[in-house]
Amino acid sequence: MPSYSAKSIERLKTCHPLLQDLFNEVIKHRDCSILYGHRGRAEQEEAFNNGRSKAHFGQSQHNFTPSLAVDAMPWPINWEDIKGIHEFAGFVLGVAAEKGIPIRWGGHFKNFFDGPHFELIGYTGVLKE
Ligand SMILES: [Zn+2]
């Protein structure tokens, strides 16, 4: 059975309990890596500046505490494998549906393909630097 690296576990712990529940199930079936959970102001602005995010601090679901979004990629990470990213997202969405966890995948965003991104729908939280 695949398992998360220490870094992935640390990142997942910054996420909403529902996202933790979801990805703790996903890892049992698909090897994957957690790239981001919570992003504070400095990390968010860095992500904006290098094009990894279209949002400034306060505009991303990653900025809430706990984080309402998680970025995850199938392992080994291959950004060119768009088909693999779609397949992984389909699996994650299926597990979420089974668990009754309302999530939206960044690959379904209208103006920006955000393949690793999954966020909770209908939740809000506290913004902390
Ligand atoms: Zn994201």
Tokens of 25: 């199930």
Centre of ligand 1 to C-alpha 62, Å, is 6
Which bin fits 6, alpha (ψ -120 to 50), beta or left (φ > 0)?
alpha
As a whole number of angstroms, the distance between CA 115 and CA 95 comes to 17
Centre of ligand 1 to C-alpha 88, Å, is 15
pTM (whole model) above 0.85: yes
Centre of ligand 1 to C-alpha 2, Å, is 23
Query: Would you give per-residue pLDDT tens digits along the chain (129 residues)?
Result: 899 999 999 999 999 999 999 999 999 999 999 999 999 999 999 999 998 888 999 999 999 999 999 999 999 999 999 999 999 999 999 999 999 999 999 999 988 899 999 999 999 888 977
Tokens of 56: 């400034």
At position 3, the amino acid (one-letter code) is S
Centre of ligand 1 to C-alpha 118, Å, is 6
Nearest by Cα to 40 from 3, 14, 73: 14
